[in-house]
Amino acid sequence: MTTLAVGDKAPVFALKDQHGKLVRLSSFKGQRVVVYFYPKADTPGCTQQSCNLQDAFPQLKKLKSAVVGISPDPVEQQLKFADKYGLKFPLLADTDHKVAEAWGVWGEKSLYGRKFMGINRSTFLIDGSGKVARVWPKVKVDGHVDQVLQAIREI
């Protein structure tokens, strides 16, 4: 698992969002994009993270920044999650986890002694030219959105 570093070109993606619309990283060219990877829709940590980003969405828009969430959940699950919590940004279905692998966030995890493969909660800030401006590996949800907003203000 190789993690992206600041200055790296962000790997391209083309994934379906919660409405079945294809979303490409290139469609955000010229603006900053917060790309966050979360393990599973509608679970406690992922819900808190997504709702915190939704709460900050007006500030992010003012800072000319977009938000994209990516998880291995299918489109239908992403739609239920977005509708249940009023999430207004794209939630992308990476069901074969190829994008997560390309971004270096797919790896071995452990829960109650059981080992399995999954997404390591991570956030990337992509600048207007498509390069990685900031990386937050193994995100702790509390206070994370404030870190992201601060980083956007700094670039």
Catalytic residues: 46
Residue whose token pair is 């509708």: 83
Could you tell me the sign of the dihedral formed by the alpha carbons of 23, 25, 28, 33, in that order?
positive
Count CB-CB contacts under 10 A for residue 141. Answer: 17
| Pairing, β 122-126 against β 32-37 | antiparallel
